[in-house]
Amino acid sequence: MTACSVPATVIDRIREIVGPGGYIDNSDDLAPYLEERRGRYFGAVPILVRPKTVNQVSNVVSVCAEAGTPIVPQGGNTGLMGGAVPHDTGSEILLSLTRLNCIRDIDPINNTITVEGGCVLSDVQSAAASVNRLFPLSLAAEGSCQIGGNLSTNAGGINVLRYGSARDLALGLEVVLPNGQVWDGLRRLRKDNTGYDLKQLFIGAEGTLGIITAAVLRLFPSPRETQTAFIAVQGIQEACDLLDQMQVRSNGMVDAFELISDTALDLVLTHMPQTANPLTNSHPWYVLTSLSASSQGQALKIALEETLSSAHELGNIHDAVVATSMEQGRALWRLRESIPEAERRDGASIKHDISVPISQIADFMAQAEASIQAEVARVRLVAFGHLGDGNIHFNLACPVGMDANKFLACGDDLNRVVNDIVSSFDGSISAEHGVGRSKRGEIRRHKSEIEMDIMERIKIAVDPNSLMNPGKVV
Amino acid sequence: MKVLVAVKRVVDANVNIRVKADATGVELSNVKMAMNPFDEIGVEEAVRLKESGTASEVVAVSAGSSACQETLRTALAMGADRAILVNTDMELQPLAVAKILKAIVDRENPKVILLGKQAIDDDSNATGQMLAALLGWSQGTHISKLLVTDNEVEITREIDGGLETLKLTPPSVLTTDLRLNEPRYASLPNIMKAKKKPIDEVIPEELGVDVTPRLTVLKVEEPPKRSAGVKVSSVKELVEKLRDEAGVI
Ligand SMILES: Cc1cc2nc3c(=O)[nH]c(=O)nc-3n(C[C@H](O)[C@H](O)[C@H](O)COP(=O)(O)OP(=O)(O)OC[C@H]3O[C@@H](n4cnc5c(N)ncnc54)[C@H](O)[C@@H]3O)c2cc1C
């Protein structure tokens, strides 16, 4: 890198702190860290630092704070909003916790695990499983994303309905603040009412307030019995009623309740090899649901079958299949999990990751679908997502025969139409994936002045010189 | 034509198996169970024979504890007409199962009996062959394709370097391989129907079968853990390691 505005002395001091192997500074090796995986953002930095200890993180941050050099924290770089990608000015440094990846403690009685920020999510899941516990955070990027990134984006995933999002799974944090100080908030407590819950500030902050170097996370009993069903529902309202019945009859054992539209399933069946509709006929809406219990037995299966058969008698569902083995359950889940890839293969698409109260989803969908059709005729609605969380991926695929670029040029208008309807339902325009760079402007249209003002004042209080991931979120 | 299909209740193929601390077997308490996957393929094939009009009745049989009723219900939900549970809490080894199945065949007189080529718990791959010997029937093992007519059974088996096609004279014992078919899901209407289908119960004594184990398990151990690989920096280093450390060249 020639044109870099990070002072050479800062880079030298950083190299000294972390030593050989603790940084990457040649452009070939840096390249993969400078790009968002969907190729929407590219950045430039003179150095990527990979500290091995919290002390090194603190020292690096202190050096940057002194010199006024901004830092972009990066985890697995799987985030979808460009939050972990630096700007292209070359004036920032990247800091990755990849080497800060120890499991510090597992306490099965306290049902907690204490891990460092660079631990890969799937390694935390395995560590929990080794003591017969479940760490329930689970998403398709789990083999690459890191706990620090998961907490910073307040990641959701497939088990939010039952266990909550990353925010609900954290009991304590250790954070390196923008001035280099270390805040040790690694408490392993479920009850602590001693003032503001500071950890929640850093969770979901997307690296704008500090660097999460370790966390205490909650564990749960391992599931021993799982039931999975794929269901053709009459409509979205009937799907919501089914969820309610399922929760009541199973004693709240529903892990996931996913909505899949026929267009979404069609994309999968068309573009993904070795997939087939598990039902004999096609239907406008499907639900994929999983329930689990920590003891083996028939109770869950009976609850599921009884719920389905009464819904069938009422005409709320048309058809359903129940997996008879975990393998069949996985095959059903593959249909759901391959929707994003099928969308990619299908071509241009305009995406929305929205949430509204579950009771309003049916109304929202009806209104939003009519409005987008009025905006772009024959646009294909590929709706799917976490119905049980009120979170729908309201994605729009290019009308058949329309030029992809012409369609993508309507993106801003379509976003606006959809987001305004979301707001009118008191919903969120970014339910899961955060703000990053992508939605920084747009959130201002949907959050009140008071909310934005409080957020900005918090940012200034914690990071007065705006050195932590500037230009993201706030 | 009546078709009999044998189904075994085993640990679900996707469960991580743990060996018991005292090395007497694998941990079965509080573990997810399912129908042996090869038996699922057997049920699917039997139901297809019925749907194509070749078979008139499909009867599922399982031997084991009362919990096997669940496995039989799955077979019924897939499309079997009725089921028989040979109820016993004794440990059942392949020879005992073969004898039980022979007794059921003697009662039911099927033209074909389908079994999995092996059960994924003990991997014995023996019950079908023993049963054929006890019955004196023709046997087609590890089948990947099946054609049944009134007086002929044609099967295809995957063998090293190709496919082998055989004609058998029924009645026949057939054991299924992975590629024979893709088992269906149990649909809601069929699950409901299955609840009303009959499951008859008998005990081995009624069949005049002695199921006492003939084999003694000495010890069950986990396989040695694979150690992590290493990266070598050059071909020279690779050759040195293969020669000096691994001792393979
Ligand atoms: C295939 C796929 C599926 C996905 N599915 C889901 C899903 O179901 N639900 C969901 O919520 N998200 C999902 N995501 C989005 C993404 O994986 C998650 O948001 C994930 O939590 C990001 O983790 P990461 O380690 O990759 O973080 P990165 O992408 O590296 O960073 C994300 C943000 O966090 C900041 N950050 C990273 N580490 C730290 C740290 N230690 N301290 C402070 N700030 C930090 C970064 O600066 C950035 O702003 C998916 C992504 C992919 C690619």
Tell me: pLDDT of B179 over 80.
yes
Residue linked to tokens 């000495």: B218
Report the CATH superfamily, name and number, of domain B2-224.
Answer: HUPs (3.40.50.620)
**Domain range list for chain B:** 2-224
Whole-number pLDDT of residue B227: 83
Distance of CA A263 to the CA centre of its chain: 23
pLDDT, tens digit, 9 for 90 and up, residues B68-121: 999 999 999 999 999 999 999 999 999 999 999 999 999 999 999 999 999 999
pLDDT band at A3; cut points 50, 70, 90: very low
Read off the pLDDT of each residue in A348-361 and give the average, rounded to a whole number: 95
Please name which of A108, A174, A96 lies closest in space to residue A135, comparing C-alpha atoms: A108
Tell me: pLDDT of A1 over 80.
no
Q: Is B191's Cβ below 8 Å from some Cβ in A?
A: yes
- Closest CB to A326: pick one of B14, B186, B191: B14
Q: Is B196's Cβ below 8 Å from some Cβ in A?
A: no
Q: How far apart, in Å, are the Cα atoms of A61 and each of A48, A56, A204, B247?
A: 13, 8, 20, 50
Tell me: pLDDT of A330 over 70.
yes
Residue identifier of the C-alpha nearest atom 21 of ligand 1: A150
CB contacts of B188 in chain A (<8 Å) are 305, 308-309, 312, 317, 319-322
Q: How far apart are CA A37 and CA A55, in angstroms?
A: 30
Read off the pLDDT of each residue in A93-115 and give the average, rounded to a whole number: 97
Q: How far apart are CA A221 and CA A131, in angstroms?
A: 10
How many alpha carbons lie under 13 Å from residue A396 in its C-beta half-sphere? Answer: 29
Read off the pLDDT of each residue in B130-134 and give the average, rounded to a whole number: 98
Tell me: pLDDT of A38 over 90.
no
Strands (E), A339-428: 349-350, 353-355, 380-386, 391-397
Read off the pLDDT of each residue in A272-296 and give the average, rounded to a whole number: 95
Whole-number pLDDT of residue A351: 94
Length of chain B: 249
Contact (CB, 8 A) for B32 and B12: yes
pLDDT band at A472; cut points 50, 70, 90: very high
Question: Residues of A numbered 154-183 whose beta carbons fall under 8 angstroms of chain B's beta carbons: which are they?
Answer: none
Q: Which of B188, B190, B195 to mutate to test the interface with A (most CBs of A within 10 A)?
A: B188
pLDDT, tens digit, 9 for 90 and up, residues A177-211: 999 999 999 999 999 999 999 999 999 999 999 99
The answer to whether the Cα torsion of A12, A16, A20, A21 is positive or negative is negative
User: Rounded to 5 degrees, what are φ and ψ at A258?
Assistant: -110, 140
Contact (CB, 8 A) for A67 and A33: no
B75, closest residue in chain A (CA to CA): A324
pLDDT, tens digit, 9 for 90 and up, residues B207-220: 999 999 999 999 99
**ipTM of this predicted complex?**
0.85
A121 lines ligand 1 (CB under 6 A): no
pLDDT band at A238; cut points 50, 70, 90: very high
Q: Is B203's Cβ below 8 Å from some Cβ in A?
A: no
Contact (CB, 8 A) for A381 and A372: yes
Residue type, A463: D
Q: Which two tokens stand for residue B240?
A: 């040195």
Tell me: pLDDT of A2 over 50.
no
Tell me: pLDDT of B196 over 80.
yes
Q: How far apart are CA A106 and CA A128, in angstroms?
A: 8
The rounded mean pLDDT for chain A is 95
pLDDT band at A345; cut points 50, 70, 90: very high
Read off the pLDDT of each residue in A293-310 and give the average, rounded to a whole number: 94
Residue A153 Cα to ligand 1 midpoint, Å, equals 6
Please name which of B125, B117, B87, B84 lies closest in space to residue B209, comparing C-alpha atoms: B87
Burial class (CB in 10 A: 0-12, 13-18, 19+), A207: buried
pTM higher than 0.95 for the full model? no
Residue A162 Cα to ligand 1 midpoint, Å, equals 21
The rounded mean pLDDT for chain B is 95
Q: Which two tokens stand for residue A29?
A: 């090796």
pLDDT band at A278; cut points 50, 70, 90: very high
Distance of CA A193 to the CA centre of its chain: 28
Q: Is B74's Cβ below 8 Å from some Cβ in A?
A: yes
- Neighbouring residues of A415: CB distance < 8 A, sequence distance ≥ 6: A350, A352, A442
Question: What domains sit in chain A, N to C, each tagged with a CATH number?
Answer: 8-96 (3.30.43.10), 103-221 (3.30.465.10), 225-339 (3.30.70.2190), 347-431 (3.30.70.2740)
Q: Is B34's Cβ below 8 Å from some Cβ in A?
A: yes
Q: Which two tokens stand for residue A201?
A: 């500030």
Whole-number pLDDT of residue B233: 87
